Chain A
Amino acid sequence: MVARLAHSRPAATRRSAFRSALCGALLGATAGGAVAGVNEAKEAAPVAVANDTEGSLANATEASLANDTDGNLANDTAEAGVALRAAKVLVCAAEGPQAIDHGRVLIQGDRIVGVGPAADLAVPDGWTEVDCGANWLMPGMIDLHSHVGGAFDINDTVYQVNSGLRVSATLRPANRALEVALASGVTTVLYIPGSGSNIGGVGVLHKTGPGGYEDVVVRDPGSLKVAQGDNPTRWGYGMSRLLMNYHIRSSMRAGKAYARAWVDHEEESAPEPARRLNLDVYRALLSGETQISTHTQYYQVVLASLRLLRAETGFDMYIDHGSFDSWRLGGVAKELGVAAILGPRTVLFPGSRRFDTDGRAEGTPWGFQQQGVELIGFNTDAPVVPQHELSVQAAMGVRYGMDDSGMGSVRGLTIVPAIVAGIDDRLGSLEAGKHADILVVTGHPADPRTSVERVYIEGEVVYDAEQEARRW
């Protein structure tokens, strides 16, 4: 069901593409976007155009119709698809128009093949149209910090460095927590080990819908989980930051050297290194195939994270909590190209042990935004905040000061985590070529009053509140 996709570009390149595309958007080169996709789709033979967003603005404007996936869609024209029509379509593309009023989304097989205004984008002959009325369409939401994908014994603390452990072995697709998550519109999560050790192990990106492991896995390794600050100190031997930082730094160096040795072997016919299972994940880190998701919160801890995990290694990492006062490091994070996936604690109230707020209640998304960080996403740390309340995290981000004029609340639930996790080639927006993971919602997704009426994963209806008991 899920096409396993080869990762073609390192994340760093993808980021720079995003940035140049964003510049393009700011310069007014936004005319293409979704509408360009429309014209293409009108030809009745939706074509997946190979994507090369690196560099030129011209290419950036075509991003919404382009994709770099398997490229088989052009051959699928015989298969009739489904057209969804809705009062509003939240596109959530990396750049370009973010919303289309009275829009239409064309689904063929497991993919989106066209998105545009209903007036411009016709329903191809023989296709079924589903009229969603006053509802809105949006991409399935993505949570990059979740612990409810399976068994809860995923917090090994016998050793402090566990880079050889993988939570994918414990995944239970469509378990009860995920059933509700799915009904709340969360379609993809990063299931990661707990934060009881400095390096918890390897997470897995998976979908929340039904199926077996192969059906739901998006990417394994989903991330390498690193934890700093408070939680690992529960180890019980009186460990403090010195040992924590030592653990992390020495592991990073050993891992990187191991990964290098493999690159040298493959590219320069150096001798084959001895296989070390506990370091294999670093090969994926070095190639940009995966990232480090970092449990890091207070100012000082985040500073150490940025230094140890990014500045010193060059690995792709993101802040994965960023609670309390760490937003003050937003400028540093931005300079290092580090994104902020914020939650579950998103407001800093005046208190001790932290930066003085002058009595203000400071929203962390507001703070990171103030510092110029563009990639701001939200997480739940489920079950700390229930998996199905991901959207509330975005609502609270906006409540406590985040400027939502650029639809940052919705982007932080969709395209931003997709970019940050390096899966934006298939997920995170409603664009031609991407997985048809689509939500039918009654209004703005951040509003708790909004309900999710139907969920599509890869073109299939996996939840329909009208047909079954409403789960959430």
Chain B
Amino acid sequence: MRFPLHVKAALAAGLLFAAAPLVRASFTPPTFDDEEESEEGEESAEEDGPDTRYFAVVGADIHTGTGEVLRGATLLSKNGKIQAIGYDIEIPGRDFQADVPSAERGYTTEVLDATGFRVYPGMVAIESSGLLGTGGDFRDSIDPFDQNMVLGLGAGITSTGQGSSAVKLKRYVSDGTDVDYDFDGVVLRDKWYTTMSYNSANSRRSLREDLERASQYIREYRKWQEDVKSDKELKEPSKKGVNGSVVEVLTGQIMAKFRADSREELLGIARIAQEYGFRPVIDGAREGWTVADELGRAGAYAIVTPRERRDKNELLVRDGGSSIENAAILHAAGVQIAIKPGSRGVSLGGITGRDIMHLPVEVGFAIRGGLPEEAAVASVTTVPARMMGVAHRVGTLAKGRDCDLIVTDGDLLHYQTFVQWAVVDGKVVYDKEAELFFAHIRPRAETEVAPLQRLDAGENEEEEEGDEDDDDEKDKKKDDEDDD
């Protein structure tokens, strides 16, 4: 059995229980990590270049996802990363260099005036299907014009787990000057979990064997790492019969995901996870409310569908079956809750409110069962981001995070609320009024100035000059009007 290179790298570097690094599972290009880090690290010092994109949302109540709400604040991003959130933030091209033509400024700035609206982190759906591409490697299968992606963005989702990947709903939009599509940017993470099973006697036995062999291997490998320093001839321990994914789980690089509902399975998973020292992700956890303390002690994550209804087996003389209070009880016991709807895909058959387009409705049922609102929001933002190991990128709005956000006309979790704009990597990729689907429903009040503005210096004065840029600008404006 061959190990992925990065497993070796992590083992060798002694990062055995560090947080999962942002790496590709199949192979690690030599410069992949370094590039990412150096870019981020030097960003502040970096000079603005012709490709520099500033994007700002102003006037909205910003819900950062960390518990803060900043009324009428500004959020500024640069090249898709959030640079600042707060007040008195100077927007390049608006608050300074406003008189310098954009061609000379060396950067572009878009400002979205969202006064009266709310800004939330783009939602992170822990699981979905069919929102973008067909799976496999999403860099290759992505359809950047997918209608379902538009509907997903319209539903407020900007990132999601699909298969074992964490991906972004990176819709292709171009303003005519920027025609690149960032295929690599679609994937946040290639493999965030491996599936483990505790459903049958056989799977229990083989799981325990896998865990035992993997932990044995890790112990031997660590010992070898020490010993080889003094004895260069010492042979590396054998990987024969060792499950590489299980090693990745035990070294904290990926998660172990179980599909389990019954109390017996849940207790077994909690026990085995504590024994081998990993935090299980439990998909389903229907009877979790009956063993919440045990799951809490095991540091479990749970993916629940609060609306699910299943009666317990009447032959069992104990609590069981589903409970509307499941999410609330698990949360109170310290289990981290992510919420997924009953239907993972986009449903256009007319029965509505039960699919991935209605994540907040599903979350609403957890609140009905007693889950605090803050934990409810976290169940579709920070918790799934954390589970997938991408919380440093998405799920909250903070300096350095990806500028993935939604602008809504009300409370994120109210059934009447619509996403007005969705922004991914600092680009507006969805505007309710510009799309066909929902524009006719409670349309936005018309404002004198278009809410989304591209700041170009001296627009008025340039009219007289009638240079080429100006014509382009007019054409663009005309196009915008046509869109409306």
A interacts with B: yes
**Chain A residues engaging chain B, CB cutoff 8 angstroms:** 176, 180, 323-324, 344-351, 358-361, 363, 366, 384-386, 388-389, 392-393, 395-396, 398-401, 404, 446-451, 469-472
Cβ of B349 under 8 Å from chain A:
yes
- In-complex Cβ contact of B352 among A360, A396, A450, A471 (8 A): A396
Tell me whether B353 and A392 are in contact (CB under 8 A).
yes
Nearest-Cβ distance from residue B166 to partner chain A, whole angstroms: 27
Cβ of B414 under 8 Å from chain A:
yes
Cβ of B444 under 8 Å from chain A:
no
Tell me whether A351 and B348 are in contact (CB under 8 A).
yes
Q: With A176-B311, A400-B441 in contact, do A344 and B416 touch (Cβ < 8 Å)? A: no
Q: How far is the CA of A348 from the CA of B361 in the complex (A)?
A: 19
Across the interface, which residues of A come within 8 angstroms of B32, CB to CB? none
Cβ of B413 under 8 Å from chain A:
yes
Q: With A345-B351, A346-B350, A401-B442 in contact, do A447 and B437 touch (Cβ < 8 Å)? A: no
Query: Which residues of B337-368 have CB atoms within 8 Å of chain A's CB atoms?
Result: 348-354, 361, 364-365, 367-368
Across the interface, which residues of B come within 8 angstroms of A401, CB to CB? 440-442
Closest to B415 in A: A395
Q: How far is the CA of A400 from the CA of B439 in the complex (A)?
A: 11
* Majority DSSP secondary structure for residues of B touching A: loop
Closest to A384 in B: B351
Across the interface, which residues of B come within 8 angstroms of A358, CB to CB? 436
Tell me whether A448 and B348 are in contact (CB under 8 A).
no
Cβ of B323 under 8 Å from chain A:
yes
Across the interface, which residues of A come within 8 angstroms of B324, CB to CB? 451, 470-472
Q: With A351-B348, A470-B325 in contact, do A448 and B436 touch (Cβ < 8 Å)? A: no
Q: How far is the CA of A446 from the CA of B353 in the complex (A)?
A: 12
- B: number of interface residues (CB 8 Å): 30
Q: How far is the CA of A434 from the CA of B413 in the complex (A)?
A: 35
Q: How far is the CA of A262 from the CA of B307 in the complex (A)?
A: 50
Across the interface, which residues of A come within 8 angstroms of B205, CB to CB? none
Q: How far is the CA of A180 from the CA of B323 in the complex (A)?
A: 11
Q: With A176-B311, A346-B350, A385-B351 in contact, do A470 and B361 touch (Cβ < 8 Å)? A: no
Q: How far is the CA of A366 from the CA of B441 in the complex (A)?
A: 9
Tell me whether B361 and A392 are in contact (CB under 8 A).
yes
Closest to B319 in A: A469
Across the interface, which residues of B come within 8 angstroms of A348, CB to CB? 350
Nearest-Cβ distance from residue A120 to partner chain B, whole angstroms: 32
Cβ of B369 under 8 Å from chain A:
yes
Tell me whether A470 and B351 are in contact (CB under 8 A).
no
Across the interface, which residues of B come within 8 angstroms of A359, CB to CB? 436-437
Q: How far is the CA of A385 from the CA of B324 in the complex (A)?
A: 17
Tell me whether A396 and B348 are in contact (CB under 8 A).
no
Nearest-Cβ distance from residue B157 to partner chain A, whole angstroms: 16
Closest to B324 in A: A472
Could you show 20 A-B contacts with beta carbons less than 8 Å apart? A324-B350, A345-B351, A346-B351, A347-B352, A360-B437, A388-B309, A393-B353, A395-B353, A396-B353, A396-B415, A398-B415, A399-B352, A399-B353, A399-B416, A399-B441, A404-B416, A448-B365, A448-B415, A449-B367, A450-B368
Query: Which residues of B406-421 have CB atoms within 8 Å of chain A's CB atoms?
Result: 413-416
Residue of B348, B353, B364 most packed against chain A (CB within 10 A): B353
